[in-house]
Amino acid sequence: MDEDDRARLADFVASRTPALMRVAYLLTGDRHAAEDLFQSALARTIPRWRELRHTDPEGYLRAVMYREQVSWWRRLRRYRETLLTGADERAGPDPSGGTDVRLAMRTALRALPAAQRTVVVLRYYEDLTETQVAAALGCSVGTVRSRTHRAVARLRQLLPDIELLEVRR
């Protein structure tokens, strides 16, 4: 990689890291796991930078993150970890009202199984179609639909006071 490529890569990483870290956090539900996911995806993207710099490097990096997350939650079926809530994640009431909803949604998303959480993030945060989500996760559209349906139903149970969007078809 020459100096020009390194400069473009550094500019890309500096400008897009906040948005990509938000996606990684929503996929994993944990700040540290999100950092690991982003770094892992970036490590897989850098060797292909020369080919990607003229196309859509962000799209490629996001697709790598989606696939990495799928691999991680498939591996987690074999190795279970128990996440503990840290003191920094507890919050009191927010006078603006918006933070309470975000914290409640974050907690509810973390309660979903990883496969359902991933589908919800891709469908509603990333605004991908069912076909795009299926392609990104390597599963069928029917699987995406059923996971989305179950996830939204569970979110409605966990958050009865918050009006959730209707499931898009």
Per-residue pLDDT of 114-131, as tens digits, reads 889 999 989 988 889 999
Q: Cα(9)–Cα(55) distance, rounded to whole angstroms?
A: 13
Specify if 145 maps to a domain: yes
Tens of pLDDT along 2-54? 888 888 889 989 999 999 999 999 888 889 989 999 999 999 988 888 887 67
Specify if 89 maps to a domain: no
Tokens 């400008």 belong to residue: 15
Cβ-based neighbour number of residue 156 at 10 Å? 13
Residue 44 shares a structural domain with residue 108: no
Task: Write out the residue range of the structural domain in which residue 23 sits.
Answer: 1-83
Specify if 88 maps to a domain: no
Q: Cα(70)–Cα(157) distance, rounded to whole angstroms?
A: 25
Do 91 and 103 touch, CB atoms closer than 8 A? Answer: yes
Task: Output the pLDDT for position 167.
Answer: 43
Residue 28 shares a structural domain with residue 101: no
Specify if 153 maps to a domain: yes
User: Who contacts 141 (Cβ-Cβ below 8 Å, separation ≥6)?
Assistant: 130, 131, 134
Task: Output the pLDDT for position 14.
Answer: 92
Specify if 47 maps to a domain: yes
- Can you say whether residue 118 is alpha, beta or left, with left for phi > 0 and alpha for psi between -120 and 50 degrees? alpha
Q: Give the lowest-confidence range in 36-40, 102-106, 152-156.
A: 102-106
The whole model's pTM is what?
0.56
Count of domains observed in the chain: 2
Task: Output the pLDDT for position 100.
Answer: 77
Specify if 46 maps to a domain: yes
Residue 14 shares a structural domain with residue 76: yes
